[in-house]
């Protein structure tokens, strides 16, 4: 928080949703970054550059906050997944919409870069990608503007997204 804002009362309602989207677009434009051109992760220098521009000073004392340089402009669906160490996701793409993946624990390796807990990965609609899970397995949260599900239901009454779900 900047000293200028240190004495202001915390107010999380300074801009609306559309203004937040405009803020992202201004940051991307200023940093000369185009997200639709490729899959981008929190470890990419372009993403770090834009995220620094999108730091938020409207936070309570003791916090730091950054707006991510991504937005999912359509209704989205959320998923959680766990994966065994060294599991591989083959090359594929999402036909119907953009997505973002957050690493909760463990890691994945994308194009030789290890993404660990707290990292994220933006996947534009139609962009092909693959990754491998790191040595400790991984737990991830996904938010997609498409559905990465199938019609079959699992049939269990209780879900346990622990270290590894049974196959």
> Burial of 145 by CB count in 10 Å (0-12 exposed, 13-18 middle, 19+ buried)?
middle
Residues of the chain with CATH 2.60.120.10: 77-144
Instruction: Tell me which residue of 90, 148, 144, 138 sits closest to 114, measured CA to CA.
Output: 138
Model confidence pLDDT, tens digit, residues 13-71: 788 878 888 888 999 999 998 887 789 999 999 988 988 898 888 776 776 788 888 88
CATH class of 77-144: mainly beta
pLDDT tier, 114 (very low <50, low <70, confident <90, very high otherwise): very high
Backbone φ and ψ of 52, nearest 5° = -60, -40
Instruction: Tell me which residue of 28, 104, 108 sits closest to 70, measured CA to CA.
Output: 28
Q: What is the pTM of this model?
A: 0.72
pLDDT at position 55:
86
């Amino acid at each position: 928080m900047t000293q200028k804002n240190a004495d202001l009362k915390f107010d999380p309602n300074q801009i609306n949703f559309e203004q937040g989207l405009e803020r992202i677009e201004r940051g991307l434009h200023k940093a000369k970054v185009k997200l639709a051109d490729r899959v981008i992760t929190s470890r990419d220098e372009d993403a770090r550059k834009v995220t620094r521009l999108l730091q938020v000073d409207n936070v309570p004392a003791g916090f730091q906050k950054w707006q991510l340089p991504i937005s999912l402009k359509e209704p989205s669906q959320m998923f959680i997944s766990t994966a065994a160490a060294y599991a591989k996701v083959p090359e594929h793409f999402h036909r119907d919409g953009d997505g973002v993946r957050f690493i909760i624990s463990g890691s994945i390796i994308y194009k030789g870069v290890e993404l660990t807990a707290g990292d994220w990965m933006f996947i534009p609609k139609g962009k092909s990608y693959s990754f491998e899970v790191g040595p400790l397995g991984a737990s991830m949260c996904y938010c997609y503007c498409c559905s990465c599900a199938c019609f079959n239901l699992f049939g269990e009454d209780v879900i346990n997204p622990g270290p590894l779900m049974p196959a």
